[in-house]
Amino acid sequence: MLSNNIFFDGRQIRWRKERWAERRKALQRVGRLSRVKKEAGRERRWVRYINHCISRRIVEIAKAESKAIALENLLGIRERTKGSKKFNRMMSGWNLRELASFIEYKAALQGVPVIYVDPKETSKTCPKCGNVSRYNRKKQGWFKCTKCGYQSDADRVGAINIAARALDALGA
């Protein structure tokens, strides 16, 4: 999702999201619709808080390492994750637009450049030899190049490709 090889452990986020969904269902079953609305507000505020934490951390790391932040365009995040069930589940309903806007303003305050990158084919492109093929992604969550044999975690490969495109965009 984000480049510079920054990864976030989605397990905790997923766990909380599942708890919220369970509560919502239980309240709906007993017809407590006003409570459902109240809970939805609490969930939105929680997502907002997590987005603040994630964006602050990303900008801190980028600043410390004198790096730019590369973001996929928001539609691209959805598109790229078609093949990743795990990531999709974690980010479904997540307010990515809010996260991106938090990153933008925090980065601007710190003087860290933010670059938007076209994420097309980043999940299918080999970062070593440039081979683009959907067969590079035969196994769920894993990348293996059909040409040169390079292999790695699929999310990591996507992030490497995004970072490479960001460097291109910067003319570096």
Chain residues that interact with Zn ion, rule: CB under 5 A: 126, 128-129, 131, 145, 147-148, 150
**Distance (Å, whole) CA 171 – CA 70:** 14
Parallel, antiparallel or unpaired: strands 142-144 and 151-153: antiparallel
Are 58 and 6 in contact by the 8 Å Cβ rule? The answer is: yes
**Distance (Å, whole) CA 56 – CA 7:** 14
Nearer to Zn ion, 43 or 155 (CB): 155
Quote the least distance from Cβ 157 to Zn ion, whole Å: 10
Quote the least distance from Cβ 84 to Zn ion, whole Å: 20
Nearer to Zn ion, 102 or 143 (CB): 143
Nearer to Zn ion, 2 or 126 (CB): 126
**Distance (Å, whole) CA 107 – CA 18:** 31
Quote the least distance from Cβ 163 to Zn ion, whole Å: 17
Backbone φ, ψ for residue 114 (5° rounding): -115, 130
Nearer to Zn ion, 63 or 128 (CB): 128
Quote the least distance from Cβ 7 to Zn ion, whole Å: 22
Residue 157: strand, helix, or coil? helix
Quote the least distance from Cβ 119 to Zn ion, whole Å: 19
Nearer to Zn ion, 145 or 166 (CB): 145
Are 71 and 103 in contact by the 8 Å Cβ rule? The answer is: yes
- Tokens standing for 128? 């070593």
What residue type is assigned to position 167 of the chain?
A: L
